[in-house]
């Protein structure tokens, strides 16, 4: 993507996602929103699909350690989608079983997350037009499910201006920052398009939550491991490739453990890898190497990797990944 001498973030983002946005609107699951004869069933299907994407995305973007989400003037919208789904007659007990997208974009930098938030916020801009268009097809249901598409009410204009001002203050003139934001926006639209085009609408929430167990099975049943460092490398690559850096999917666990290991033990391990309160990749490597339970070593390594991502320590997360990939056991004897 080529930027001018003094690029404006909003112009670059708008141009970068224009075609992707139009492609999403033409997907079979979304196209009924542009018709006046949409049925309640079609509208409910679209709401469920959007909820399945917004919920895990927002759980990731608005979690602790995500500074872009804390400063950008936007609010989560998955609760609004949930209210609309309930308004269309779905029982509250059915909500947890709705399918959730498990293939989210990595979004490893703050500016990439800004680009993703731009996409999620922008999706509500045409909401009032959509509501007017589909009102006749929905009949009595129309007034019960307007929380998402009518999210900003009569404050839509001022709200969007605040977003534009934020983008301008943060990114205008910053070529590298704009390119990162554009990359995050495009990756988000591509992930959304894949999700909405999937016949199964991705994996169910239960399947997404099972990732830690999938990791454990891989370590137990995969190729024989030569040492704990190899187990650590295998585990980190598995988490990185399968979860795409999505901390929510990796760390979500009903009983508070990760692959059956209590979070307290995992946190203690990370503490042992620190010097004067700062995480040390060298200490990490030494701690892992001393483990005789290779499966346990892999689990601790995977947890450490996603914990560093969650805290925004991307360089150190990449440092431990690089270290275990290149390290030979004899170097640590």
Residues 37-83: tens digit of each pLDDT? 888 899 999 999 999 999 988 888 886 455 555 588 999 999 999 99
The end-to-end CA distance of the chain, in Å, is: 48
pLDDT-derived band of residue 184, with 50, 70 and 90 as boundaries? very high
pLDDT-derived band of residue 206, with 50, 70 and 90 as boundaries? very low
CB contact at 8 A, 49 and 29: yes
Residue 145 has pLDDT above 90, yes or no: no
Residue 171 has pLDDT above 80, yes or no: yes
CA distance 185 to 193: 12
Of the candidates 87, 115, 88, 120, the one whose C-alpha atom is nearest the C-alpha of residue 101 is 120
Residue 315 has pLDDT above 80, yes or no: yes
Q: Mean pLDDT lowest for which of 169-183, 232-246, 277-291, 307-321?
A: 232-246
- Give me the phi and psi of 204, to 5 degrees please: -70, 165
Which of 1.10.3080.10, 3.30.160.70, 1.20.910.10, 3.40.50.150 would CATH assign to domain 9-203?
Answer: 1.20.910.10
Of the candidates 162, 116, 168, the one whose C-alpha atom is nearest the C-alpha of residue 6 is 168
């Amino acid at each position: 993507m080529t930027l001018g001498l003094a690029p404006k973030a909003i112009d670059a983002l708008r141009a970068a996602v224009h075609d992707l946005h139009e492609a999403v609107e033409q997907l079979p699951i979304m196209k009924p929103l542009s018709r006046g004869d949409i049925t309640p069933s079609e509208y409910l299907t679209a709401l469920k699909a959007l909820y399945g994407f917004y919920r895990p995305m927002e759980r990731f973007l608005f979690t602790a350690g995500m500074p872009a989400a804390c400063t950008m003037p936007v609010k989560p919208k998955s609760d609004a989608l949930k209210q609309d789904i309930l308004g269309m007659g779905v029982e509250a007990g059915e909500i947890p079983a709705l399918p959730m997208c498990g293939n989210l974009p990595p979004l490893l930098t703050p500016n990439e997350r800004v680009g993703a938030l731009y996409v999620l916020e922008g999706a509500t801009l045409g909401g009032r037009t959509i509501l007017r268009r589909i009102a006749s097809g929905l009949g009595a249901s129309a007034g019960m499910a307007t929380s998402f598409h009518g999210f900003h009410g009569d404050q839509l204009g001022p709200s969007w201006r605040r977003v534009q001002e934020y983008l301008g203050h943060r990114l205008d003139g910053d070529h590298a920052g704009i390119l990162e934001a554009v990359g995050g926006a495009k990756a988000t639209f591509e992930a959304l398009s894949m999700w909405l085009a999937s016949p199964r609408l991705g994996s169910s929430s239960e399947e997404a939550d099972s990732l830690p167990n999938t990791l454990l099975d891989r370590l137990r049943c995969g190729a024989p491991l030569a040492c704990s460092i190899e187990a650590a490398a295998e585990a980190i690559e598995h988490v990185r490739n399968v979860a795409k850096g999505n901390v929510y999917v990796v760390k979500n666990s009903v009983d508070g453990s990760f692959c059956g290991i209590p979070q307290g033990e995992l946190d203690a391990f990370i503490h042992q890898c620190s010097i004067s309160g700062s995480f040390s990749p060298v200490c990490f490597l030494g701690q892992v190497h001393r483990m005789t339970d290779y499966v346990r070593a892999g689990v601790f390594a995977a947890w450490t990797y996603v914990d560093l991502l969650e805290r925004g320590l991307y360089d150190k997360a990449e440092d431990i990944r690089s270290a275990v990939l290149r390290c030979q056991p004899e170097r640590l004897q």
